[in-house]
């Protein structure tokens, strides 16, 4: 997968609802017969509020959730959720178990748009709950050139390290990054006689980059 001047795969790779039920109309307690009219005294009307279902059970019960990619439908590993003052993280299958099913959540994953929403929107009692994340738009390819910091001449055979991948620049000092699937990458450029350069690359930006290396004094 690695050729001179070519690099692939830059990765280490609910609300309470109440109904008015149980109307209890007590019968008259006593009657008094007056000379001209009958007077009836009764208890006040009593209405018992019965919740349709209790949210307390959901709130205190663990809930299994899967975080999935909108395009592929596959689970997203290492996604992090802030909910109820706790931080949860998905496993390799993109699943996590949260201890509460109510409240505002913030969901983050490398390469995806941050999602902020009440978690109640996604909780389903009858099936596994899923939260869909939108991938960020990445560049199809990023071209990088390594040059001498003083002469601006291309540097051949400069060593490039990116997320445990290694490749050398070609005769024009170029290398390319393709098959991008993460938002940022930490790159290290080194060559004998020059100071090592470390940079963070934003893979959403498709523009060509130039990395100047400074010679040792």
Fold match, 55-133 / 138-213: yes
Is there a contact between 197 and 162 (Cβ–Cβ < 8 Å)? no
According to DSSP, residue 101 is labeled S
Domain ranges of the chain: 55-133, 138-213
**Statement: residue 152 has pLDDT above 60:** yes
Question: How far is residue 215 from each of residues 10, 155, 190, 194, measured CA to CA in Å?
Answer: 27, 11, 11, 4
pLDDT tens digit sequence for 171-216: 999 999 988 878 888 999 999 999 999 999 998 888 999 999 999 9
CA–CA distance, 197 with 159 (Å, rounded to integer) = 11
Q: Which residue has the tokens 């003083």?
A: 150
Is there a contact between 146 and 189 (Cβ–Cβ < 8 Å)? yes
Architecture of domain 138-213: Sandwich (2.60)
Q: Note the pTM of the prediction, 2 decimals.
A: 0.54
pLDDT of residue 15: 41
CA–CA distance, 213 with 175 (Å, rounded to integer) = 15
Structure tokens at 98: 């949260």
pLDDT of residue 44: 53
pLDDT of residue 23: 44
Q: Which CATH class is domain 55-133?
A: mainly beta
pLDDT tens digit sequence for 24-83: 545 555 444 444 545 545 555 444 343 333 343 345 678 899 999 998 999 999 999 999
pLDDT of residue 148: 96
């Amino acid at each position: 997968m690695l050729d001179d001047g070519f690099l692939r795969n830059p990765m280490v790779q609910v609300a309470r609802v109440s109904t008015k039920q149980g109307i209890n109309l007590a019968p008259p307690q006593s009657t008094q017969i007056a000379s001209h009219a009958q007077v009836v005294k009764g208890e006040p009307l009593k209405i018992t509020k019965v919740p349709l279902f209790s949210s307390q059970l959901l709130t205190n019960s663990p809930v299994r959730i899967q975080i999935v990619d909108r395009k592929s439908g596959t689970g997203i590993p290492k996604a992090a959720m802030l909910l109820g003052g706790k931080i949860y993280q998905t496993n390799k299958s993109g699943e996590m178990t949260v201890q509460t099913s109510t409240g505002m959540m913030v969901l983050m994953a490398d390469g995806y748009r941050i999602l902020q929403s009440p978690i109640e929107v996604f909780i389903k009692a009858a099936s596994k709950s899923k939260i869909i994340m939108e991938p960020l738009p990445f560049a199809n390819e990023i071209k990088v050139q390594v040059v001498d910091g003083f002469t601006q001449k291309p540097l051949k055979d400069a060593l490039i390290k990116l997320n445990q991948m290694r490749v050398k620049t070609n005769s024009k000092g170029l290398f390319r990054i393709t098959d991008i699937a993460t938002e940022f990458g930490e790159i290290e450029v080194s060559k004998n006689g020059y100071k090592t350069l470390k940079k963070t690359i934003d893979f959403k930006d498709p523009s060509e980059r130039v990395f100047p290396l400074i010679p040792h004094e």
